[in-house]
Amino acid sequence: MRLNEWISKNLFQSISGRLARETQHSLKTPQSMKVSVITQFFPPDYAATGQLIEELTRQLGQQGIDIEVFTSQPGYAFQSSTAPAVERSGGVRIQRSRTARLWPNQIRGKAVNGLLYTLRTALHLLKSKNRSKIDILLLTTAPPFVPILGYLAYIFFRIPYVCILYDLYPDIAIALGVISKHHWLARFWQTVNRLIWQNSQGLVVLSPNMRVEVVKNCPQVAHKVFVIHSWADPDKIVPIAKHENWFAWKYSLVKKFTVLYSGNMGRCHDMDTILEAAKQLRDEQIQFVCIGSGAKREDFLKEVNRLGLSNFIFLPYQEQQVLPYSLTACDLSLVSVDASTENLVAPSKLYSALASGRPIAAICSQYSYLRQLIAEANCGAAFDNGDSYGLAQFIRLLSRDQELGERMGKAGRQYLRSHFTLKVISQQYLDVLQQAISSEEVKTLSASHTK
């Protein structure tokens, strides 16, 4: 070996060893971290992603992390269309931009509104006087254009970033037939995704299936893709007997076996299997309740009316303080994912359903992570997309065996307490943020040592 090669090799090993030792001691404590969170949806918006981010940031803020949230005025599902432009809540500073509500129930409207929010966020980052003090950006895919800002902030200002991938685009648009996978926009978007992912310091996905999809699209990022599930608070959502539940009394659900679908009725959710099961149960004392909105809601409602089904009640999104009552005013909770988008989304409604202490019926493909989770928790059953007969039979079984439903509900709630509480999940996010900041510091140190 030549002398210069030997020197280079040993110098590299020496620097690597020193950097590793420095890294062990360089993890920022929560009290010394400043995190900027970028998400379009945030309370008082009812969007599930916004409510989850609000709970997460509040929990991290209570641990001493300096957190600021840049979001928009309510624009998805809301009772109040305005909120303070700037406020501090639970130790978290919240700043809201204006919002656009163009064609809110159409894909093009959501795309335009999301793009306008992204542009306002870019201006916010450019104008921010505290930009240099930010340790890391935490970006969501609500809307899906936001992660581009993380890449640009890293390139121009060297601010590291972590992305929470709630949905995988353009994969969802391709799966739903909105655009072809060979379309120039799809190819361009996938190229941009790979650029964003490779330059990020971490990627958070909500299910093992989603991790598989990300790694398949970009194998180079496998080491920094973390599966962190959503959560629910079992102290806020507590099982309430139907005869003690005002929500159940209000909608005449106390004496009927009630099947609840609560949340988004979007393009990624299988509503057809639910409808077919309800048709089979139309002459029985079984009530279906659908709470929420989404792209499929109106067509679903029209089909129920066309068929003359009287076993459905449709209600709008409920305010957060009502959820402990609406989620427990049932005997069975439904979770559904369309087979075409199985690896691209993860239903957050699953976790609040677990907290409610009610059994769960999941409609999904045979490869879904939901099947393993429900089997491990012993909290219900899973059915293939299209298996309306199996779903109807399960509903009949539970309607006749109340003790079975109670055992499943209790098991699911216990499983949630062990795996998916905010305390457990927030620690996982904190670990990812600390590692991300540390890895960027190591990269900077390494660059300075090699100069």
Determine the pLDDT at residue 98.
80
Q: What percent of the chain has pLDDT over 90?
A: 73
Would you call 251 exposed, middle or buried from its count of C-beta atoms within 10 A (0-12, 13-18, 19+)?
A: middle
Single-letter code of the amino acid located at 347: P
pLDDT in tens, 242-296: 999 999 999 999 999 999 999 999 999 999 999 999 999 999 999 999 999 988 9
Single-letter code of the amino acid located at 269: H
Single-letter code of the amino acid located at 103: W
- Mean pLDDT of all residues in 371-390: 97
Say which CATH topology domain 30-231+422-450 has.
Answer: Rossmann fold (3.40.50)
Determine the pLDDT at residue 290.
98
pLDDT in tens, 428-437: 999 999 999 9
pLDDT in tens, 169-199: 999 999 988 899 999 999 999 999 999 999 9
Determine the pLDDT at residue 71.
92
pLDDT in tens, 209-238: 999 999 999 999 999 999 999 999 999 999
- Predicted confidence (pLDDT) at residue 447 exceeds the cutoff of 90: no
Give 3 or 421, the one with higher predicted confidence.
421
- Predicted confidence (pLDDT) at residue 394 exceeds the cutoff of 60: yes
Q: pLDDT-derived band of residue 15, with 50, 70 and 90 as boundaries?
A: very low
Q: pLDDT-derived band of residue 95, with 50, 70 and 90 as boundaries?
A: very high
- Predicted confidence (pLDDT) at residue 321 exceeds the cutoff of 70: yes
- Which range (103-112, 125-134, 212-221, 297-306) has the least confidence? 103-112
Sorted by sequence, the CB contacts under 8 Å of residue 283 that are 6+ apart come out as none
Determine the pLDDT at residue 16.
43
Q: Give backbone dihedrals phi and psi of 33, rounded to 5 degrees, phi first.
A: -100, 140
- Predicted confidence (pLDDT) at residue 30 exceeds the cutoff of 90: no
Are the beta carbons of 251 and 289 closer than 8 angstroms?
yes
Tokens of 164: 């929470």
Are the beta carbons of 371 and 209 closer than 8 angstroms?
no
- Mean pLDDT of all residues in 132-138: 90
Give 95 or 32, the one with higher predicted confidence.
95
Sorted by sequence, the CB contacts under 8 Å of residue 107 that are 6+ apart come out as 178, 295
- Predicted confidence (pLDDT) at residue 4 exceeds the cutoff of 50: no
Domain boundaries, the chain: 30-231+422-450, 242-419
pLDDT in tens, 75-86: 665 556 678 989
Say which CATH topology domain 242-419 has.
Answer: Rossmann fold (3.40.50)
- Predicted confidence (pLDDT) at residue 411 exceeds the cutoff of 80: yes
- Predicted confidence (pLDDT) at residue 106 exceeds the cutoff of 70: no
Tell me how far apart the alpha carbons of residues 147 and 116 are, in angstroms, rounded to a whole number: 14
Determine the pLDDT at residue 91.
84
List the one residue out of 360, 366, 363, 399 whose CA is nearest residue 379.
Answer: 360
Tokens of 424: 């457990």
Tokens of 110: 């959501």
Determine the pLDDT at residue 385.
97
Sorted by sequence, the CB contacts under 8 Å of residue 87 that are 6+ apart come out as 93, 94
